Structure 1
Amino acid sequence: MTEPKSGPVYPTALGASDLKTITLLGHDLAEDIMGSVGFGELAFWLATQRRPSTGETRVFEAVLAALADHGFTPTAIVTRLTYLSAPDSVQGALAAGLLGGGSRFLGVTEDTGRFLHDVLESLGGAVPRDETGWDEVALRTVRQRRETGKFVPGLGHHVHKTGDPRTPRLMRIATEEGLFGPHLSLFAAIGRVHPTVLGKTLPLNGAGVCGAALADLGLPLPLLRGFALLARTAGLIGQLAEEIRHPVARDVFLSVDLNNASVPPDPFVPEPFTEEGGEEGRTD
């Protein structure tokens, strides 16, 4: 084994190894973790550096199951198409699917968790004690979003228009484990009161309830999308496994390639530049 060179020390509570052992989270990986700690529990432990309770593990793993796969979504399709183009690059196919996790698919988990957290922060610690109090906060919140022309993250679904089956199930699990906290309480209240403001009833979607549940578990908000991507990685591996056995990517490709229609060019015309609302103030 190569001896470490003198110089700066980089402390970590995660993986470290020497000639005979591997240490992870202060435990012997081979003897204490392998065969004793499930992957969901380990993922939670790695992110928080504290071992979750049995109830926290159950809620967390329910979230992972809820987000693992939802059919032929864009992330699944692009994974299959990338594998068709480069079957020698499984990592490329998986990466292609994960890169599609954004504001419309998967990213809603983080968006909802952050949104709910911001509302709770604005209360200054004055958390409602009953359903009536939560409804008042939710009503005020939905009205403010409506007045500013913004959507409420986690509200609505393009398929489950009358109710996402994942939402009540995850809420029941959180309740059973005593982990139905303020984020889920606010989210549930939004589900009850929004028809009064919007004039229509929209479902609380599964990605949104997952964000609320993860936030109630105290997981870092900047990592909420990461947990959604962790879940979807398993789903994308399943998509690739099915693609290998029953390929459809070539049919998807040919359905577009053989049915395109040539049309005249439609040149892009940029909007006139103005000082207000133009490039000024950009940070990228």
Structure 2
Amino acid sequence: MSNDVSDWWSTSIIDMAPGQIRMRGHPIQDLIGNVTFPQMVWLMTRGDLPSDDQARLLECALVAAVDHGPQAPSIAAARMAVTCGLGLNGAMANAVNMLDDVHGGAGEQAVELFGWIDEAEQAGQPLDEATATMIDRWQADRSKFIPGFGHRFHKPEDPRAPRLLGLVDEAAQAGTVSGRFAHIGRAMQHCLNARKGKPVPMNIDGATAVIYAELGFSGPLARGLFCLSRSVGAMAHAWEQMQQGGRNKGPTPPAYRWTYTGENPIED
């Protein structure tokens, strides 16, 4: 019977006994003060500790995606939740729960698409050809929207993407990463620009996806890392809204009405 209880959950992540805690085999007291938060994220999700250079590159991606303002639905949801009486944890949960396929899932999707292109190139297809083929496949099988590219606000360039790609280039020169996913990202950029006849900027999802793919994170973990990063912005906005006050704030000021499309509209 005791085995039935102790084996109900099994994990290689944490082991505890009275007065002892080990994370992935490391005593917690050895990690505290010696391991950074990005290193801890890597350890918990991957099972080993990254090099300092790997951890720094991961940290860059986490920092870049922290916030994008109250026009982002997840951040707006966190602020609205506070005005409805929720605390920080509820507001943050409200924000994270909105980070799904459309708003928040592009990073995971981009890692997957990068992987398709990488596999085709590894099989001997030239990069430009592999890129065009897999973009076509994605649009035929998944969506007309190419994850990680295009931005409704930042035109012609998302300022975060060039900085992150530059850091990947530096890491590749130092031997920290291969750099092949940065090449894939740039090949996609070239292909999309040529097809559209105008710049289609790589956005934060594409740039962080390059980093996560370079560091060996799976697509689903890339989404989890984005949620972790954006949680900081949600917390900050929720806390600010608490200081500002306000009750039951909706998505628009009360004087602005929605468009009614049913029968017998009320006339102004």
The interval holding the TM-score normalised by the smaller chain is 0.7 to 0.9
Tell me the SS of whatever aligns to 1:111.
helix
Q: Is the 8 A contact 2:76 2:251 kept in 1?
A: no
Counterpart amino acid of 2:222?
L
Tell me the SS of whatever aligns to 1:156.
coil
Match of 1:167 among 130, 148, 161: 161
Tell me the SS of whatever aligns to 1:112.
helix
Partner of 2:199: 201
Structure 1 window deviating more from structure 2 (215-224 vs 17-26): it is: 215-224
Count of residue pairs brought into register by the alignment: 255
Partner of 1:150: 144
5 Å-filtered alignment, 1:85-124, equals 85-87=84-86, 89-123=87-121
Tell me the SS of whatever aligns to 2:22.
strand
Q: Is the 8 A contact 2:75 2:95 kept in 1?
A: yes
Tell me the SS of whatever aligns to 1:253.
coil
Q: Is the 8 A contact 1:69 1:236 kept in 2?
A: yes
Tell me the SS of whatever aligns to 1:76.
helix
Tell me the SS of whatever aligns to 1:92.
helix
Cα deviations by residue, 1:42-63 (Å, 9 ceiling, x for unpaired): 0011111011111211111111
Q: Is the 8 A contact 1:174 1:180 kept in 2?
A: no
Counterpart amino acid of 2:157?
G
Task: Confirm or deny that 1:76 pairs with 2:75.
Answer: yes
Distance in 2 of aligned mates of 1:152 and 1:254: 28
Distance in 1 of aligned mates of 2:59 and 2:127: 27
Where does the alignment leave 5 or more consecutive residues of structure 2 unmatched? Answer: 264-268
Kindly state the Cα deviation for residue 177 of structure 1 after the two structures are TM-superposed: 1.6
State the structure with more CA Rg: 1
Distance in 1 of aligned mates of 2:166 and 2:57: 10
1:162/1:92 CA distance change after superposition, 3 Å: same
Counterpart amino acid of 2:118?
L
Where does the alignment leave 5 or more consecutive residues of structure 1 unmatched? Answer: 267-284
Give me the CA root mean square deviation: 2.6
1:158/1:32 CA distance change after superposition, 3 Å: same
Distance in 2 of aligned mates of 1:122 and 1:86: 51
Task: Confirm or deny that 1:211 pairs with 2:209.
Answer: yes
Partner of 2:266: none
Distance in 1 of aligned mates of 2:261 and 2:221: 45
Distance in 1 of aligned mates of 2:98 and 2:149: 20
Distance in 1 of aligned mates of 2:58 and 2:179: 14
Task: Confirm or deny that 1:222 pairs with 2:220.
Answer: yes
Kindly state the Cα deviation for residue 127 of structure 1 after the two structures are TM-superposed: 6.0
Partner of 2:50: 52
5 Å-filtered alignment, 1:2-17, equals 5-7=2-4, 9=7, 11-17=10-16
1:127/1:210 CA distance change after superposition, 3 Å: farther
Distance in 2 of aligned mates of 1:38 and 1:260: 48
Partner of 1:277: none
Distance in 2 of aligned mates of 1:254 and 1:108: 24
Counterpart amino acid of 2:127?
W
Q: Is the 8 A contact 1:154 1:204 kept in 2?
A: yes
Q: Is the 8 A contact 1:171 1:180 kept in 2?
A: no
